[in-house]
Chains A and B, each alone.
Chain A
Amino acid sequence: MAKKTINVGGEIVEIPDINKNVVVMAVIVILGLIFLFSGFYKVDASEVGIIQRFGKYVETTSPGLHFKFPFGIDKVTRIAIERNFKQEFGFQTLQAGVRTQYSRADYSDISLMLTGDLSSVLVKWIIQYKVQDPVKYLFNVRNVEETLRDVTEAVMRLVVGDHSVDEVISLSRQDIEIQSTELLQVFLDEFETGLFVENIRLQNVDPPEPVQPAFNEVNQAVQEKERIVNEAETAYNKVVPQAKGQRQQMISQAEGYFENRVNRAKGDAERFISILREYSKAKDVTRKRLYLETMLTVMPNLKGTFIVDEDQKGLVPLMQLNERGGAK
C-alpha cells in the first residue's frame, strides 16, 4: 500500500500509517466521555434541580452531584429556593451602598393611590419573597414576576383603600404591612405561583406634592403645641416645688415657735413657783428685798432722778431745764 502523502507549502510530507481499529476505538472513547460528562450536573447548596425528561417533570433533586440522561433527553433547571428576592414599588434603587442611589424617574403612577377617606397619598413599598414551590413556580404561571407585581399593587391599594390618609401616613403603618402581606399570600396561592411572601415593608409614605406644605404646617403646629405645653410645665415646675419648700419652712418655724413658747412658759412657771415657795415662808421681808433689789438694778441706769419732797412746789421749771438734753 502506497504511503499517504500531503503537500504542505510545496513540501511533500508523509503521513504515517495508523491502525483503523485505533481510530474507531478513540472515537468511541471520546464519545463515551462526552456522554458521561454531559450527564453530570451539580446543584448548589441553596438550590434544587428540577428534572424534565422529554419535557415531562420527573423529579426534584437536592444539592450535590447528579447524573442525567444527556443529549437533551433530560433537562435540568436550577431554582434558588433559599434566596430572598426583592421588588420595589414606587421607586427604584440604581446602586445600593453606603449612599444608595435611587432613580429620579417618576413612579407616581405606581405609588399614587386613594385612601378610604377619598384623599390621595403616595405610597412606596418593597416586598421580599422566596420560591417556595419550584415546580409550581416553573410550570403554572407565565411571567410570574409580572403577576407578582400586578397582584401586589392591587393588594396594596385594596388595603390602603380601607384606611384613612392619617392611618396610612402614620397611625397604622404596621397594620397595613401585616394585612397586605397576608392578603398577597392568599392571592399568590390562588394563582399557584409557588411564591412565599416574607414581608411587605412600607418605605416613604407621603402626601402628594401640592399638599405637602399643608402637611408640614400640621407638623409645625404639633411642635408648637408641644413647645407651649413644655413652657407651661416648666413654669409650673419652677414655682410649685419652691412653694412646697416655703410651706414646710412656715410649718417648721411655727413648730420652733411652739417649742420656744412652751419652754419659756415652763421656765417662767418654774421660776415663779420656786420664788413663790420661798416667798410664802417670809412674805414681808422678801417683798421688801425684791423691791429694793429691783430699784438697785434700775436706778443706776436712769438718766436722772429727782427726789422731791412732798412739800416742794414749782417742780415744772426744773424739769424743763433738764429736758434740754433732748431726751426722748
Chain B
Amino acid sequence: MKATRMLISIGGFLIFILANQCFYTLDETEQAIILEFGKPVGKSITDAGLHFKVPFIQKVTVFDKRFLEWDGDAKQVPTAEKTYIWVDTFARWRIADPLKFYQRVTNEISAQSRLDDIINSAVRTFVSENLLIELVRNSNRELQSSIDISVTALGVVAIDSIQFGRENINEMILRKAKEAMPDFGIQLFDVRIKRINYSEQVQKKVYERMISERHRIAEKFRSEGQGLKAEIDGKRQKELQRITSEGYRRAEEIKGHADAEATKIYAEAFGKDPEFYSFLQTLESYKTTLKDNTTLILSTDSEFLKYLKDIRP
C-alpha cells in the first residue's frame, strides 16, 4: 500500500515536470524563438498564448514584441554655419525578426549600442550639412514680432525661407540610419530630434543679442509714447482753436443778423418821417446828456425862454 502511494506521488511529479517542459505561454508583449541545444530551430513564435515544444531538448528564448525606446546622449555638433549646438535625439524601434535578431546581435543591450553608432552618425551628418534655421523651423510661416527679427543672434538669417525644416530632416536622418543599418532583424520606426540648444559660448552671444533687441523694443515703445502724446496735444490745441473760433463766428453771425434786423425795423419805422425822428431823438438825447453836472447857458432868445422876455408872440 505504501509503495502504491509512493508511485502515485512520483508519477504526479513527473507529469508536472513533463507538462512544464511541453508547454509554455507567451504574453501579448512577447515573442520567442526555440533553441535546440543552443541552436535556433523553426520559425519565430509571435502569437501570444499557450504553445507546445519538445520537452527537455528545446528551450524558449523570449524577446519583447513592443516598440522599444532608444534615447541617445546629447551630442555637441556644429551646424553648416559652424555654430555649435547640443543635439538630443530619440528613436523607436522593434525586434521585427527575433530569429535574426538573436543570431546577429543576441540581446537588447548590444542592439542599443549598435543603434547608438548608426543613429548618432546619421544625426551628425545631417546636422552639419544644414543651417541651424533648418533644424529649428518646420515651415516658412511668417513670424510676428514687435521688431525686425531678420537680424538674429547669428547675424542676418533668412528665417522665412527654409528649404527642409525639422520634420523633413528627421525623415532624412531616419532614412539614412535605415540604409546604414545591417539586417539585424530590427525595424527602426522613427528618429526624432528631441532637443536642440546652443553650446555655452554661442548661448552667451545669443543672450547679448536678445538683450540689445529688447533695448531696441523698449526704446521704440518710449518714443511711440512721446509721439502719441505730441499727437494728442496737437489735436487738443487744434480742437480748442476750432471750438473757440466756431463759437466766435456763430456769435458774430447772430449778432450781425440782430443788428441788420434792428436796422431794418428802425429804417422802416423812422423812414416814415425822418425829420420828426431826428426831432424826437434830439429831445431824447437831452434827457441823457444833460445831467446834474451840466451847466446850461440859455439865451433869452431861445424857444424855451422866449416868453420870459416878452409875452407877446
Contacts and interface: CB of A to CB of B under 8 A. Distances in A.
A254 B198 CA distance: 77
20 contacts: A52-B28, A54-B49, A55-B49, A56-B48, A147-B67, A161-B166, A166-B145, A207-B210, A210-B211, A214-B211, A236-B233, A244-B243, A254-B252, A255-B254, A258-B255, A287-B279, A290-B280, A294-B284, A302-B296, A307-B299
Interface string A137-148: 011111100110
Given A57-B28, A165-B145, A254-B252, A228 B229 contact: yes
B260 to A, nearest CB: 10
Interface in A271-294: 272-273, 275-276, 279-280, 287, 290-292, 294
Given A55-B48, A211-B214, A158 B197 contact: no
B78 to A, nearest CB: 15
Given A54-B48, A159-B138, A251-B247, 10 more contacts: A55-B49, A109-B195, A139-B66, A147-B67, A151-B192, A240-B236, A261-B258, A291-B304, A294-B286, A299-B296
A65 to B, nearest CB: 25
B139 A120 contact: no
Contacts of A57: 28, 48
B207 A210 contact: yes
A28 interface: no
A221 B272 contact: no
A178 interface: no
Contact of A309 (B229, B277, B299): B299
Given A54-B25, A56-B28, A307-B305, A147 B69 contact: yes
Interface string B139-160: 1010111100100111001010
B5 to A, nearest CB: 14
B254 A118 contact: no
A225 B269 CA distance: 67
Contacts of B65: 139
B254 to A, nearest CB: 4
A154 interface: yes
List 6 tightest A-B contacts by C-beta distance, closest first.
Answer: A247-B247, A225-B225, A269-B269, A56-B49, A214-B214, A265-B262
Interface size range of chain A in the complex: 35 or more
A19 to B, nearest CB: 19
Interface of B: 25-30, 47-50, 64-69, 71, 90, 92, 132-133, 136-139, 141, 143-146, 149, 152-154, 157, 159, 166-167, 189-190, 192-198, 203, 206-207, 209-211, 213-215, 217-222, 224-226, 228-229, 232-233, 235-236, 239-240, 243-244, 246-248, 250-255, 257-259, 261-263, 265-266, 268-270, 272-273, 276-277, 279-280, 283-284, 286-287, 290-301, 303-305, 308-309
A14 interface: no
A272 B261 contact: no
B221 A269 contact: no
B210 A214 contact: yes
B144 A166 contact: yes
Nearest to B140: A162
Contacts of B239: 236, 240, 243
B300 A167 contact: no
A270 B248 CA distance: 32
B215 A217 contact: yes
A236 to B, nearest CB: 4
> How would you classify the secondary structure of chain A's contact residues: helix, strand, loop or mixed?
helix
A52 B48 contact: yes
Contact of A306 (B189, B280, B286, B298): B298
A167 B143 contact: yes
A291 B25 CA distance: 146
B48 A164 contact: no
A21 B200 CA distance: 84
Contacts of A113: 195-197
A95 interface: no
B137 A161 contact: yes
Given A55-B48, A119-B206, A257 B228 contact: no
A190 B190 CA distance: 10
A232 interface: yes
Nearest to B220: A221
B221 A221 contact: yes
A224 B159 contact: no
Contacts of A254: 250-255, 258
A264 B261 CA distance: 11
Contact of A302 (B90, B261, B294): B294
